[in-house]
Amino acid sequence: MIVSKDPNEVRNQILSWKSEKLSVGFAPTMGFLHEGHSNLFIRSASENSKTVVSIFVNPAQFNDPEDYAKYPINTDGDLEICKSSKVDLVFLPDKDTMYPGGIPEVELRIPHLMKNLDASTRPGHFEGVLLVLSRLFHIIPADRSYFGKKDYQQYLVVKDFVKALGFPMEIIGVDTVRSREGLALSSRNARLTGPEKEEALLLIRALRLGETLIRQGEKDPAEVLTVMKDVLDSSSKIQTDYLEVLDANTLEELHIVKGEILLAVAAFLGQVRLIDNITVKVS
């Protein structure tokens, strides 16, 4: 496994592979890797000749400096996970490498997909995501790039971004990996206490109850939201950031439940912000 901090070395290696007609998959990450990440890497390895992973905690996508400062880092452990997941190259840039001269004052937006969910509660977040990805996609001209659907809005935004700007790359969404109890795996889970992890299970319980109501024929989004909200409100430790029932393809609000539905939640447990979602198809 190649490990490099040099963007030119990384790009030249990838271009060399592609000159040999080898396909390249890419998974951008912020490190502190877990099974959800390794699932992306293994999926890429199964569909491509070579797999590349980047590990970079991107300051441009944090609207809370304290959240950025507390983001967990474990580079040695990350490299072990990459190696065991059949990754061929790991790009480990630092802040000066990614943003020489500082974070540029450039604003990248996909307006129709960036008006609710995390876009509304974390201003500047997706602009920062698109900024770092625009740089990474030039350094790592992969054939396919893999994103977890736990960050569902990000997956849609990036997919539309790549299409709009003509990057010759396919964006692949990979289903959320969960603990045995149902908690969506996240690097932020490491900051939860044992009791907080138990409380966090209320997120998926609320979503699954919403799914059950929809499958039983409930057509009013407000009723689905009310029932899900009751689940979250049963805990004094959970502070809901948002709770939404949206069209899963456009992220538009629904007047009636039909088609492919996204049930999404973000909530705080103490200082830790968690997100989760599920999709439901109904006729």
Q: Tell whether 13 is in a known binding site.
A: no
* pLDDT confidence of residue 66: 87
Residue 14 within any structural domain of the chain:
yes
Residue 33 within any structural domain of the chain:
yes
Number of structural domains found in the chain = 2
Q: Tell whether 154 is in a known binding site.
A: yes
Give me the CATH number covering residue 57.
Answer: 3.40.50.620
Within this chain, do residues 162 and 200 fall inside the same structural domain, yes or no?
A: no
User: Active-site residues: which are they?
Assistant: 37
Within this chain, do residues 6 and 142 fall inside the same structural domain, yes or no?
A: yes
Within this chain, do residues 143 and 201 fall inside the same structural domain, yes or no?
A: no
Within this chain, do residues 218 and 251 fall inside the same structural domain, yes or no?
A: yes
Q: Tell whether 150 is in a known binding site.
A: yes
Q: Tell whether 37 is in a known binding site.
A: yes
Range of the structural domain that residue 123 is part of: 2-174
Q: Tell whether 186 is in a known binding site.
A: yes
114, 145, 174 - which closes a domain: 174
* Cβ neighbours, 10 Å, residue 9: 14
CA-to-CA distance for 31 and 26, rounded, in angstroms? Answer: 14
Residue 223 within any structural domain of the chain:
yes
Which backbone phi and psi does 226 adopt, to 5 degrees? -60, -45
Q: What is the mean pLDDT of residues 174-183?
A: 96
pTM score of the predicted model: 0.95
pLDDT in tens, 30-47: 999 999 999 999 999 999
Q: What is the mean pLDDT of residues 165-169?
A: 97
CA Rg, the chain, in Å? 19
Q: Tell whether 35 is in a known binding site.
A: yes
Q: Is there a contact between 121 and 242 (Cβ–Cβ < 8 Å)? A: yes
174, 195, 212 - which closes a domain: 174
Q: Tell whether 34 is in a known binding site.
A: yes
Within this chain, do residues 116 and 192 fall inside the same structural domain, yes or no?
A: no
Residue 74 pLDDT class (50, 70, 90 cuts): very high
Residue 154 within any structural domain of the chain:
yes
* pLDDT confidence of residue 283: 79
pLDDT in tens, 247-263: 999 999 999 999 999 99
122, 144, 174 - which closes a domain: 174
Which tokens hold the place of 152? 């569902």
* pLDDT confidence of residue 70: 87
Beta bridge partners of 148: 174
Within this chain, do residues 147 and 223 fall inside the same structural domain, yes or no?
A: no
CA-to-CA distance for 14 and 79, rounded, in angstroms? Answer: 19
Beta bridge partners of 2: 89
Q: Tell whether 188 is in a known binding site.
A: yes
Say whether pLDDT at 64 is over 90: no
CA-to-CA distance for 183 and 185, rounded, in angstroms? Answer: 6
Q: Is there a contact between 147 and 158 (Cβ–Cβ < 8 Å)? A: yes
Within this chain, do residues 35 and 98 fall inside the same structural domain, yes or no?
A: yes
Residue 282 within any structural domain of the chain:
no
- C-alpha dihedral over 242, 204, 150, 187, to 10 degrees? 100
CA-to-CA distance for 241 and 267, rounded, in angstroms? Answer: 5
CA-to-CA distance for 246 and 264, rounded, in angstroms? Answer: 8
Within this chain, do residues 25 and 80 fall inside the same structural domain, yes or no?
A: yes
* pLDDT confidence of residue 228: 98
Within this chain, do residues 170 and 192 fall inside the same structural domain, yes or no?
A: no
Residue 208 within any structural domain of the chain:
yes
Residue 180 within any structural domain of the chain:
no
Say whether pLDDT at 122 is over 90: yes
Give me the CATH number covering residue 203.
Answer: 3.30.1300.10
Q: What is the mean pLDDT of residues 213-227?
A: 97
Residue 283 within any structural domain of the chain:
no
Within this chain, do residues 218 and 136 fall inside the same structural domain, yes or no?
A: no
Q: What is the mean pLDDT of residues 140-162?
A: 98
Within this chain, do residues 265 and 131 fall inside the same structural domain, yes or no?
A: no
* Cβ neighbours, 10 Å, residue 142: 26
pLDDT in tens, 130-148: 999 999 999 999 999 999 9
Within this chain, do residues 124 and 232 fall inside the same structural domain, yes or no?
A: no
SS3 category, 29:
strand
